[in-house]
Structure 1
């Protein structure tokens, strides 16, 4: 699923996956602190850029807008590295950088929960568009352990128990059998000693620089749009069912159902129009599914 890189400057985007308090930022700080010559490390923590979450529609809209801005920032960093092998000064203010001037390999840690496949797929697509490598590190953590760790955090860093428990239900573990693009994943237990695993982690990360996604080749023509729409419709209906299952208030569930059904119809209409003008792929499904999340 990957092709080797022949560029002198190499970029690898690493999506960190896990519940709040699973150890993603701890892992990032550990990598940043290592005195090793293997690669430069750029740490982008989403929490530094995202607003505090609440349940209002305006807050949800703002949350999605900020995620899109973060994705644009990551894209800018990747392009800057590909063109100049360095990070722009104004970008350095928003990221942590461990720089090795004798090395042209850059590892970008995307420190976020990334609990949906669709969230990670956006990063994978970004890598495919920029001919950069892609990897995932899943910090596997039991919900109860995450809750205990979260309760020990300072008030301003603590996530509400309700949100954390909801994430525990929604978190979609990496599964390369269903999502082929997740095959380059390293699973790290939340209680594992990072220093004990150091050699394995560094080997995985160093090897990941060669894991560049192939250009999109599996495309479909307008003759198969009807079949594609049917597949997408089933996927969206399933996602709507999952979202509504988590809503206990019947009145809110009814309002949310109407909104999601309208959104589903809007997405299907958009895909139908797109299929009439250009080649589309089932790889795009993750992006459309994300719009409902």
Structure 2
């Protein structure tokens, strides 16, 4: 086993498939080796790394039958905190709403996604042959590449124990769904299995476990609390690609059999890049998405108007207030009109849930509409 220390459903099914021919070639090259990408997600201290260690290094108490089941897989552990070790604790956990779209977390985690793809590419092109990459792939930082080189050595040593089932277990908090979706896209691109394990843990329990950590592995209680407020657990009903997920509660013992059964199922049912999606389904989905977005935008704008009017009331005379209220309402209507006509480009995370965006000021759509509203007021 190897430890790597170091828009809508219909549209999502077809995005990243523009070069279907390439995707098909990649998938066919993986035909002799069956791969599964398994994500661990949860709060710091929820037990992700402990679970990874259990799968990598079974204890002496593990039954012989379970050890034999584990031996069927080559397990590769991909630990985010070990691959990106030079970052400070604060920069590893970007929890402010303004940092979600393009902050440090996106860049750093992009490095881990890139490193994972490097390994996927090698396996798909060369099977279990020795990795002898001498130069740093484009896009990877030197620090990350140095950590990754250690994994290549471990992979080369472990590959002697020939097994054609490889499980890449990614150990990270993955608190935003969009973080996990990047790995689903890799699974779709390379035709691998995909599954998720959510380690459900209360803030109190996570904080208690966190106190036993040392150095950079320890985070503040504030980070745990903020992350718990923003964490987006796998939702099988709303997001089709998260259907192969299980939840393990902190108070429950680890059921290795259940985990391996899910992984085996994911390997037997790899993600496929659909050649052609149903046109009517896509059209219907787009209409539903557009209607929902406009509805939420309207509700958000109403809240923005109410907030702004409350500010004006505290410092304006009645005659001034009437004039300003007309100005604010006009800005609201202009924004809605522009949204309906497509004159305002909406650049949001691919897997953003906007169902109740108006009720959550930290939602990416809420922040976006709020900024558009303030900009419209300043220009009119």
Q: How high is the TM-score relative to the length of structure 1?
A: 0.71
Which residue of 264, 269, 285 corresponds with 2:350?
285
Show the counterpart of 1:93: 150
Map of 2:345 onto structure 1: 269
TM-score by length of 2: 0.56
Matches within 5 A, 1:18-167: 18-34=42-58, 35=67, 36-50=70-84, 51-52=87-88, 53-54=90-91, 61-86=103-128, 88-89=131-132, 91-94=148-151, 99=158, 101-167=161-227
* 25, 32, 57: which one aligns with 1:8: 32
Aligned pair partner of 2:256 in 189, 192, 198: 198
Distance 1:89 1:287 in 2: 39
- Where 1:81 maps in the other structure, the secondary structure is helix
Alpha-carbon distance, 1:74 to partner: 1.0
The one-character-per-residue Cα deviations of 1:263-288 (angstroms, maximum 9, x if unpaired) are xx9x96377xxxxxxxxxxxx83179
How much is the aligned-residue C-alpha RMSD, in angstroms?
Answer: 4.0
- TM-superposed deviation, 1:70: 1.3
Return 5+ residue gaps in structure 2 as ranges.
1-8, 14-26, 59-66, 134-147, 302-334, 355-362, 366-380
Question: In 2, distance between residues paired with 1:231 and 1:119?
Answer: 26
CA deviations over 1:119-149 (Å, ceiling 9, x no partner): 1111111110111110111111111111111
What SS does the corresponding residue of 1:269 show, helix, strand or coil? Answer: coil
CA shift, 1:64, in A, is 1.9
C-alpha separation in 2, matches of 1:29 and 1:61: 30
CA shift digits 1:27-82 (9 cap, x unpaired): 11111113532110111111123422347989973332121121111111111111
- Alignment partner of 1:212: what SS? coil
Deviation at 1:153, TM superposition (A): 1.4
What do the CA deviations read for 1:237-290 (whole angstroms, capped 9, x no partner)? 69x99xxxxxxxxxxxxxxxxxxx9xxx9x96377xxxxxxxxxxxx831799x
Give the total of aligned pairs: 254
- How does 1:128-277 map onto structure 2 within 5 Å? 128-194=188-254, 197-216=255-274, 217-218=276-277, 227=287, 230=290, 233=293, 269=345
Matches of 1:89 and 1:145, distance apart in 2: 43
Q: Deviations over 1:133-176 (max 9, x none)?
A: 10111111111111111122114311111111011111111111
Task: Give the Cα separation in 1 of the matches to 2:111 and 2:225.
Answer: 27
Cα distance change on mapping 1:232 and 1:84 into 2, 3 Å: farther
- Contact 2:39/2:171 (8 A) holds in 1: yes
Does the 8 A contact of 2:32 with 2:127 survive in 1? no
Distance in 1, Cα, partners of 2:122 & 2:219: 34
CA deviations over 1:81-140 (Å, ceiling 9, x no partner)? 111123735645157659362201110011111112211111111110111110111111
Bigger Cα Rg: 2
Q: Give the 3 Å change call, closer, same or farther, for CA 226–268 of structure 1 in structure 2.
A: farther
Displacement of 1:183? 0.7
Is the Cα contact below 8 Å between 1:40 and 1:107 reproduced in 2?
yes
**Change over 3 Å in CA distance of 1:108–1:234 after alignment to 2:** farther
SS at match of 1:11: strand
Secondary structure class of the residue paired with 1:188:
strand
